[in-house]
Amino acid sequence: MCGILALLLADSNASANLELFEGLQLLQHRGQDAAGIVTCGHKGRFYQRKGNGMVMDVFDQKHLQNLAGNLGIGHVRYPTAGTSSHSEAQPFYVNSPYGIVFGHNGNLINTQELKNYLDFHTHRHINTDSDSELLLNIFANNLQATNKVRINEQDIFTAIKGLYERCIGAYACVAMIAGFGIIGFRDPYGIRPICYGRRENIRGTDYMFSSESVALDALGFTNVIDINPGEAIIITKTEMIRSQLIEPKSFTPCIFEYVYFARPDSVIDGISVYRSRLEMGEYLADQILKKCGNSIDIDVVIPVPDTSRVAALQVAYKLKLPYREGFVKNRYIGRTFIMPGQQMRRKNVRRKLNAMALEFADKNVLIVDDSIVRGTTSKEIVQMARDVGAKKVYFASCAPSIKYPNVYGIDMPSRQELVAHNRDDDLVAKEIGADVVIYQELDDLLASCIKINPNIKSFECSVFNGEYITGNVTTEYLDHLENARNDVAKSFKDTLHSPDAIDLHNICSYSSKSQVKCEKFIVLDN
């Protein structure tokens, strides 16, 4: 789950840089590891700035000024493949054919097969372990196959159709072809979100693609439309063309976007994330009553900031119990679940949240969170609640218990790291130190979204039921993923990347602003 953006302004003398920067800040919650923007200016030249860190760390005014041109794409990264190295920060670039830059949200399953194909059949060099670089090269190779000096929209649609046939997994993508325009497309199951909107002005129509509608809303784009599974959209300076390239296999958006990832003020696939979380609260309250019956002895409902707030408020309302903000969140610390490494995650829960004795002392508390994944947050905060005098701690989760790895763009590769793997609810309660743990039922979670948009009948729910919608997820694959991407393996891989490494084609320097290691933009016109 990364954030992707693409923008094309109707005024060819305007600059896309500032709005891309603002848009990425609005998608920051989707990826904190790296950020990047590539714009396209005069003579079809690309200008790039990307590096590790939050959006505010990677770009300063000078960097933004150097991003020339009225169109561009942007990315915030939460790695699910390869390493956290800045060389895997996106967008990715290939010069041949035509000059393409690419941003991807999601994760591919058949990477080994794609690597072999690109190596043995197309002789394309892949320089990182990122699955997104493979995706870009498949697209580039398909465009190359046209053998044309200049391509048209149909050639691009054919190339994406070919990509659909070869690439298995989750992918919502934006691309930009030098001097041509911007492109957005979505995998045949519609697992990861992508939408677009338009903004009229005296120069014509500006267009923007975004992972979430919040970026479009905030920047004044309207008529927001979700891209369909298997659909691609091309926007050039003269036109916008949509094409349904293949019949959707099934429309199964990732349910975890609604549970945790997306901002509540986004609407994804016709479902308001905020409304879905209110519904989750309604159903969860019923579940709590079912589990605790008349013996319910809760004094107060307390959310775990930030994501669970909306649902927790509804739980309290339905149970007719007081809602209190017992945990205060440090607003300068980002999301902990998407931080790399367990040690960092654990330390940051303590840094981020502080319990107020006033709301816990001598009370039976119901703590509500959106999910319990590794149990990092719940374990720490149950202890915090006890430390300030809570008597009995009930812990309720808006999501059902998470027992299976995710392979579609959420970095949960290891069964062993999931607290509910091989543990029933009572054992999970014991593990996190709570008296009682109450999980949402999967059918109720699904109903929370389907109720809002009955046209979407199914969701990607593999972390709850182990059913992987794309197929091709074998036990061998899951074993391989677990070995390659558990926390220990990841931290080892990351230590292999020297912070002083100089990337191919990129001039390295320390950012004057933050001392974060970044690549300067590519100077293509020297």
Ligand X SMILES: NC(=O)CC[C@H](N)C(=O)O
Ligand Y SMILES: O=P(O)(O)OC[C@H]1O[C@H](OP(=O)(O)OP(=O)(O)O)[C@H](O)[C@@H]1O
The annotated binding site for Mg(2+) is made up of 307, 369-370
Nearest to 15, CA basis, from 56, 67, 59, 58? 67
Question: CB 225 → ligand Y: shortest distance, Å?
Answer: 27
H/E stretch holding 88 = none
The reply to whether 2 sits near ligand X by the rule CB under 6 A is yes
Considering only residues 52, 132, 336, 378, which one is a binding residue for ligand X as defined by CB under 6 A?
A: 132
The reply to whether 337 sits near ligand Y by the rule CB under 6 A is yes
H/E stretch holding 90 = none
Beta strand segments in 213-352, E: 222-226, 231-236, 240-244, 267-268, 271-272, 300-303, 327-329
Cβ proximity to Mg ion, 235 vs 420, nearer residue: 420
Residue 242 three-state SS: strand
Tell me which residues in 76-105 interact with ligand X (CB under 6 A): 77-82, 88, 104-105
Cβ proximity to Mg ion, 83 vs 371, nearer residue: 371
The reply to whether 1 sits near ligand X by the rule CB under 6 A is yes
Considering only residues 304, 355, 367, 461, which one is a binding residue for ligand Y as defined by CB under 6 A?
A: 304
Residue 78: contacted member of ligand X, ligand Y, Mg ion, none (CB under 5 to 8 Å, by partner type): ligand X
Contact residues for 185 (Cβ-Cβ < 8 A; gap 6+): 160, 172, 173, 194, 227, 231, 232, 233, 245
Cβ proximity to ligand Y, 352 vs 517, nearer residue: 352
The reply to whether 355 sits near ligand Y by the rule CB under 6 A is no
Distance CA 152, CA 180 (A): 9
The reply to whether 376 sits near ligand Y by the rule CB under 6 A is yes
Pair type for strands 204-210 and 3-8: antiparallel
Question: Which residue among the candidates 2, 195, 254, 518 is catalytic per the annotation?
Answer: 2
The reply to whether 131 sits near ligand X by the rule CB under 6 A is yes
Cβ proximity to Mg ion, 268 vs 367, nearer residue: 367
Contact in structure between 424 and 433 (CB atoms under 8 Å): no
Tell me which residues in 232-291 interact with ligand Y (CB under 6 A): 260
Contact residues for 132 (Cβ-Cβ < 8 A; gap 6+): 81, 88, 90, 92, 102, 103, 104
The reply to whether 370 sits near ligand Y by the rule CB under 6 A is yes
The reply to whether 448 sits near ligand X by the rule CB under 6 A is no
Q: What is the DSSP string of 465-509?
A: H---TTS---HHHHHHHHHHHSHHHHHHHHHTS-TTPPPTT--EE
Is 2 labeled as catalytic in the residue annotation? yes
Q: Tell me which stretch binds Mg ion (CB under 5 A): 50-58, 149-157, 302-310, 454-462.
A: 302-310
Q: Copy the structure tokens of residue 197.
A: 């909107």
Residue 378: contacted member of Mg ion, ligand Y, ligand X, none (CB under 5 to 8 Å, by partner type): ligand Y
Q: Give the type of residue at 331.
A: R
Residue ranges for the known binding site are: 307, 369-370
Contact residues for 15 (Cβ-Cβ < 8 A; gap 6+): 9, 39, 67, 68, 69, 70
Cβ proximity to ligand X, 130 vs 213, nearer residue: 130
Instruction: Give contact residues for ligand Y (rule: CB under 6 A).
Output: 260, 304, 306-307, 335-338, 369-378
Return the active site residues: 2
